[in-house]
């Protein structure tokens, strides 16, 4: 397929792998920030191809995973209201709250719908004037322009029977939290390509300088990831710590100004809780006061919901690259996609779920060594 | 700051998300063909109906009646929209049951057809569906010999649900079953994966996207008979170990089932699995995997290595097998598990899907 096959070529992959092996002299720990990158790495078996001394650890960039449990419970409380049509991105439907998931609510008569674009909610709202349409607006910077557009259009068009339950998070504060931890092992980053397509990557420059880590903003296809790793390893080996752009066919340093303007208009930075990690100051977005009429958290009485998370789950450490799914005694036994104990097992993009789906069967040595762990 | 150090009070134990596998009510995922479906069938049905024929868990029951070997199967059809490029619920209902019989090596003969109609359904649409069933039956060489209709109140059905059951004769000394795969066997596929599922998806409300895809809905009986003829001519009917049509749940679910039942591993080669551009594109866009997308005219055959090339040639000579491919082989390692050599040379596990395949957020 055009624009994809070019980035999945086995011959070029081999050349990149050989080059990584040639350049690398010391062991390095590299974190891919995005859940989409984790998915691609495990799905394509990229980690199996790398030299053993290059360890990939999986970052916090799975939007479904990091949405805190209390927010999921709030969503479920709203979705159970008889007058509500609850709209969500698809993979949020299976994320369990304290009692079941959105599928359960649907099976008990709730009107839960998958939308591909948040704007579809306006269409649904207009077609159902007697109903309240609530959109679960989650995600990183990547989904924020589309989510902002829903609030903006609702305000412009005066659509009142639609609202947003916002749980937006930002990547740079999460990277900063990981790098600030005394237990941090991460020496270099594959930066989030689609996030930076929206907001650019100038925000990452102070991080690279302050913590002296290379950050290579990378795409999601196998060759993108391999090239990104090569660029990180080159920097590490030569002692550089810069922000570089592997994904230049998609993004520039400035990102998308029109999208940024819209985000700025609709959202403001706020403190956010991350599932498995806890509160990170100024790490998310909330609706500005001018849009409070479209804020589902204000429209529905859910403020009292404050569910706590499981303590046996090591998702917090996995999301920070301190541990791997296999380090968890519950992985694949007590904790599976059917019985998730925590954040990283609940979405296909979560590190534990990706391991489980693509590499959990550990009978064979070449499959055991996922992540290239030393 | 150190976010992990913020966790303190151990009393919050037990606040973990509840296991949602044991749903106290039916959820859509129970019909997905994945793990939830398997669990439901196992726990609710097989445990109660238990008998040796059922426990073979093939797509059809093989019965011996008065000296004749018969294959018997049933299937119900619910699809929105009722009409789609390449077929409709009627052709689906005939071909689905015909194919389940054919996969057991049977020559399909007679079908029943039962209709649950929703009050208000336009009669002209029903006529169109029944005409399509007649055409499909003629092509497959079967007769629809008995039937039933029920009407439910408006809002209690989705215009029409169809059940078909079928009987075929097992007139050759075959013993095709999901437990027959052996290490060294080759895995054959008769063409492009995912056409049906993506065609249906492209027609759904709220998700209209334009593509020139058509459902692959077809009777596989002729193709199966051609393969059996070839094996029989070679004096090696038992070289065809197992045939399955990968419908809902897709090829991944079918292969996992065979690997599990036969206690063997499977090793696939991604580059050899035919998937159309349009299907790949739609899957990329929606975050789906073609290996899990439904087919209605595809056949997976596990065959002995010595006959594999000949059978592949027979498939390719048939109109429904022009794009047939040998997509992998059965291995002795990692029993019960299907792995795939990826396009860039890595390896991954192709697991059984949990429930419905869900589009990813980004």
pLDDT digits (tens, 9 = 90+) for A80-99: 999 999 999 887 887 888 88
Q: C-alpha distances in angstroms, A206 versus A202, A212, A219, A237?
A: 8, 9, 21, 21
Q: How far apart are CA A187 and CA A179, in angstroms?
A: 9
Residues of chain B with CATH 3.30.1330.10: 67-169
Other Cβ atoms closer than 10 A to A312: 15
- CATH 3.90.650.10 region(s) of chain B? 186-349
Q: Is A61 helix (H, G, I), strand (E, B) or coil?
A: strand
Using CB atoms within 10 A of its CB, is residue B166 exposed (0-12), middle (13-18) or buried (19+)? buried
Cβ-nearest to B346 among A48, A346, A356:
A48
The DSSP bridge partners found for residue A218 are A192
Average pLDDT of the residues in A323-340: 76
What are the C-alpha distances in Å from A4 to residues A96, A221, A222, B281, B343? 34, 7, 10, 9, 12
Domain A65-170+255-299 has CATH 1.10.3720.10: no
Q: Is A3 on the interface with B (CB under 8 A)?
A: no
| Minimal CA separation from B176 to chain A, in Å | 28
Range scoring the smallest mean pLDDT among A228-232, A360-364, B15-19, B62-66: B15-19
Block residue for tokens 């349409």: A133
- Give the nearest partner residue to A316 out of B3, B19, B343, using CB atoms: B3
Give the residue from B200, B28, B193, B4 showing the smallest Cα distance to A94: B28
The C-alpha torsion from B175 through B176 and B177 to B181, rounded to 10°, is: 100
Q: Which of A45, A139, A307 sits opposite B361 (nearest CB)?
A: A139
CB atoms under 10 Å from CB of A206, counted, come to 12
Instruction: Assign B260 to helix, strand or coil.
Output: helix
Apex CA A188: angle with CA A183 and CA A189, to 5°?
Answer: 105
| Mean predicted lDDT score pLDDT of chain A | 88
Nearest to A274 by CA among A309, A303, A235: A309
Comparing A162 with B287, the larger pLDDT belongs to A162
pTM of the model: 0.81
State percent of chain A over pLDDT 70. 91
In chain B, residues with a C-beta closer than 8 Å to the C-beta of A47 are 346
Question: What are the beta bridge partners of residue B186?
Answer: B303, B329
Q: What strand order describes the sheet that includes A243-245?
A: A54-61, A28-34, A188-192, A215-218, A243-245
Residue A248 has pLDDT above 60, yes or no: yes
**pLDDT tens for residues A249-259?**
999 999 999 99
Into which CATH architecture does domain B67-169 fall? 2-Layer Sandwich (3.30)
Between the two ends of chain B, the Cα-to-Cα distance in Å is 29
Structure token digits, residue B317:
């000579």
Is pLDDT at A266 greater than 70 in this prediction?
yes
pLDDT of residue B288: 87
Q: Please give the pLDDT value at position A43.
A: 84
**Mean pLDDT, range A277-305, rounded to an integer:** 93
Cross-chain Cβ contact B359/A89 below 8 Å: yes
- Chain B contact for A160 (CB, 8 A cutoff): no
Chain A residue nearest residue B20, CA to CA: A100
Give the contacts of B49 (CB within 8 A, at least 6 positions apart). Answer: none
Q: Given A9, A96, A366, which is nearest B20 (Cβ)?
A: A96
Cα A105 off chain centre by = 25
Question: Would you list the DSSP string of B107-139?
Answer: EEEEEEEEEEEETT--HHHHHHHHHHHHHHHHH
Find the range with the poorest average confidence among A3-12, A139-148, B194-203: A3-12
How do the pLDDT tens digits run along chain B, 362 residues long? 333 333 322 222 222 233 345 677 888 878 877 777 888 888 889 889 999 999 888 889 999 999 899 999 999 999 989 999 999 999 999 999 999 999 999 999 999 999 999 999 999 999 999 999 999 999 999 999 999 999 999 999 889 999 999 999 999 999 899 999 999 999 999 999 999 999 998 887 666 667 789 999 999 999 999 999 999 999 999 999 999 999 988 999 999 999 999 999 999 999 999 999 999 988 988 878 999 999 999 999 999 999 999 999 999 999 999 999 999 999 998 888 899 998 888 888 888 776 666 665 54
Q: A277 phi and psi, to 5 degrees?
A: -120, -45
Which pair of structure tokens corresponds to residue A28?
A: 């390095």
Strand partners, B68: B65
Mutate to test the interface with A, among B42, B346, B353 (most CBs of A within 10 A): B346
pLDDT of the residue at B21: 52
H runs (alpha helix) in A86-221: 102-107, 120-127, 144-157, 171-180, 193-199, 204-211
Mean pLDDT of A218-244: 97
H-run or E-run covering A351: helix A351-359
Q: Considering only alpha carbons, which residue of chain A is nearest residue B284?
A: A4
Eight-class DSSP state of A161: S
Structure-token pair, residue B320:
């429904």
Q: Which residues of B touch A101 (CB under 8 A)?
A: 20
Residue B111 has, within 13 A of its CA and on its CB side, a CA count of 32
Distance CA(A68)–CA(A273), nearest Å, equals 6
* CA-based nearest residue to A51, from A87, A92, A91, A19: A19
Q: What is the pLDDT of residue B16?
A: 26
CATH class of B186-349: alpha beta
Of B72, B40, B37, the residue nearest B56 (C-alpha)? B72
Q: What is the pLDDT of residues A17-48, one digit of tens each?
A: 999 999 999 999 999 999 889 888 988 889 88
Contacting residues of A for B3, CB less than 8 Å apart: 177, 181, 274, 277-280, 316, 320
| Partner residue opposite B4 with nearest CB, options A69, A97, A317 | A317
Say what the pLDDT of residue A86 is: 98
C-alpha–C-alpha distance, residues B45 and B22, integer Å: 15
Q: Give dist(CA B305, CA B328) in Å, integer.
A: 11
Radius of gyration from C-alpha coordinates of chain B: 22
Partner-chain contact A1 B361, CB within 8 Å: no
**Is residue A337's pLDDT more than 80?**
no
The whole-angstrom separation of Cα A31 and Cα A23 is 18
A183-207 pLDDT per residue, tens = 899 999 999 999 999 999 999 999 9
Measure B351 CA to nearest chain A CA, in Å: 6
Looking at residue B6, its pLDDT comes to 32
């Amino acid at each position: 397929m055009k624009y994809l096959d070019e980035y999945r070529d086995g011959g070029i992959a081999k050349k990149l792998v050989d080059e990584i092996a040639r350049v690398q002299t010391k062991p390095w720990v590299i974190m891919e920030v995005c859940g989409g990158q984790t998915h691609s790495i495990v799905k394509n078996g990229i980690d199996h191809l790398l030299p053993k001394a290059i360890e990939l650890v999986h970052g916090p960039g799975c939007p479904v995973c990091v949405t805190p449990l209390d927010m999921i419970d709030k969503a479920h409380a709203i979705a159970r209201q008889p007058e509500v049509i609850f709209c969500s991105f698809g993979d949020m439907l299976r994320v369990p709250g304290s009692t079941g998931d959105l599928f359960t609510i649907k099976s008990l008569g709730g009107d839960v719908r998958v939308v591909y674009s948040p704007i579809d909610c306006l269409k649904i709202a207009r077609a159902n004037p007697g109903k309240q349409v609530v959109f679960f607006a989650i995600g990183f910077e990547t989904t924020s322009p589309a989510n902002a557009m829903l609030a903006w259009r609702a305000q412009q068009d005066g659509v009142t029977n639609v609202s947003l339950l916002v749980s937006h998070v930002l990547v740079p504060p999460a990277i900063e939290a990981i790098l600030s931890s005394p237990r941090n092992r991460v020496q270099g980053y594959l930066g989030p390509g689609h996030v930076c397509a929206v907001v650019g990557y100038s925000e990452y420059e102070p991080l690279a300088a302050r913590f002296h880590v290379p950050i290579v903003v990378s795409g999601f296809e196998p060759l993108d990831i391999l090239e990104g790793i090569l660029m990180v390893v080159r920097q590490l080996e030569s002692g550089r710590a810069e922000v570089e752009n592997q994904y230049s066919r998609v993004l520039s340093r400035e990102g998308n100004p029109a999208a940024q303007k819209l985000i700025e208009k609709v959202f403001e930075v706020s403190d956010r809780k991350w599932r498995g990690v806890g509160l990170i100051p100024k790490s998310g977005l909330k609706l500005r006061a001018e849009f409070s009429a479209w804020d589902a958290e204000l429209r529905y009485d859910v403020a009292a919901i404050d569910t706590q998370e499981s303590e046996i789950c090591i998702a917090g450490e996995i999301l920070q690259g301190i541990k791997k799914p296999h380090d968890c005694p519950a992985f694949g036994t007590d904790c599976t996609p059917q019985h998730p104990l925590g954040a990283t097992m609940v979405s296909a993009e979560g590190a534990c779920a990706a391991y489980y789906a693509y590499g959990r069967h550990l009978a064979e040595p070449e499959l055991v060594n996922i992540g290239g762990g030393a | 700051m150190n976010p992990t150090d913020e966790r303190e009070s151990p009393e919050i134990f037990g606040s973990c998300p509840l296991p949602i596998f044991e749903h106290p009510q039916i959820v859509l995922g129970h019909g997905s063909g994945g793990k939830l479906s398997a669990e439901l069938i196992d726990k609710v049905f097989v445990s109660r109906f238990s008998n040796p024929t059922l426990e073979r868990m093939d797509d059809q029951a093989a019965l011996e009646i008065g000296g004749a070997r018969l294959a018997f199967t049933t299937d119900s059809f619910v699809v929105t929209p009722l009409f789609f490029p390449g077929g409709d619920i009627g052709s689906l209902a005939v071909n689905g049951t015909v194919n389940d019989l054919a996969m057991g090596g049977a020559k399909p003969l007679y079908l029943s057809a039962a209709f649950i109609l929703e009050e208000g359904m336009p009669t002209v649409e029903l006529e169109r569906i029944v005409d399509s069933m007649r055409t499909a039956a003629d092509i497959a060489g079967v007769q629809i010999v008995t039937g039933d209709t029920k009407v439910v109140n408006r809002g209690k059905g989705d215009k029409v649900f169809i059940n078909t059951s079928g009987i075929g004769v097992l007139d050759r000394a075959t013993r095709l079953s999901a437990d027959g795969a052996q290490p060294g066997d080759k895995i054959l596929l008769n063409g492009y994966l995912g056409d049906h599922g993506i065609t249906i998806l492209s027609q759904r409300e709220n998700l209209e996207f334009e593509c020139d895809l058509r459902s692959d809905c077809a009777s596989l009986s002729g193709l199966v008979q051609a393969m059996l003829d070839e094996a029989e001519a070679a004096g090696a009917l038992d070289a065809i170990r197992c045939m399955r049509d990968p419908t809902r749940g897709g090829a991944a679910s079918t292969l996992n089932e065979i690997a599990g039942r036969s206690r063997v591993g499977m090793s696939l080669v991604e580059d050899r699995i035919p998937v159309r551009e349009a299907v790949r594109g739609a899957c990329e866009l929606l975050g789906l995997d073609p290996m899990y997308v439904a087919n209605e005219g595809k056949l997976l055959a596990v065959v002995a290595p010595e006959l594999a090339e000949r059978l592949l040639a027979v498939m390719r000579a048939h109109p429904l097998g022009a794009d047939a491919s040998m997509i992998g082989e059965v291995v002795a390692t990692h029993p019960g598990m299907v792995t795939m050599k990826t396009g860039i040379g890595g390896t991954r596990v192709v697991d059984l899907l949990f429930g419905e395949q869900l589009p990813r957020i980004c």
